[in-house]
């Protein structure tokens, strides 16, 4: 199952996903992180973006424990996760899948 975290822009979503990837590394790096952890999908009309967040670390190709993976999201972000995207996002899902 996936969770979706809706953010105000594509840039904000990419930045958040890069921060999560950096936090998931066993050895912190001083170099700029360019890899994102979660997929970013843009809204078809309004500039928002969504992070597609798998439920388990193995589904995100990470070797973290479930607790470690869960800790990559703040309490506020976990509360904001949705399991279904609102109807206006359907064009995004359709374009990604087909």
The domain of 50 spans 2-97
pLDDT digits (tens, 9 = 90+) for 37-63: 999 999 988 899 999 999 999 998 888
- Encoded tokens for 36: 């994102």
What's the total number of domains in the chain?
A: 1
Full-model pTM? 0.82
pLDDT digits (tens, 9 = 90+) for 15-28: 999 999 888 887 76
Place of tokens 């470690």: 68
| Mean pLDDT calculated for residue range 54-81 | 93
Nearest CA among 76, 62, 59 for reference residue 16: 76
Q: What is the pLDDT of residue 97?
A: 45
């Amino acid at each position: 199952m996936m969770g979706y975290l809706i953010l105000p822009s594509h840039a904000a979503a990419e930045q958040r996903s890069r921060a999560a990837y950096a936090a998931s590394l066993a050895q912190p790096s001083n170099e700029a992180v360019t890899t994102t952890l979660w997929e970013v999908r843009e809204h078809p009309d309004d500039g928002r973006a969504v992070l597609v967040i798998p439920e388990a670390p193995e589904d995100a190709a990470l070797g973290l424990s479930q607790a470690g993976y869960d800790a990559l999201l703040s309490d506020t972000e976990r509360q904001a996760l949705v399991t279904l995207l609102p109807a206006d996002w359907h064009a995004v899902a359709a374009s990604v899948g087909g």
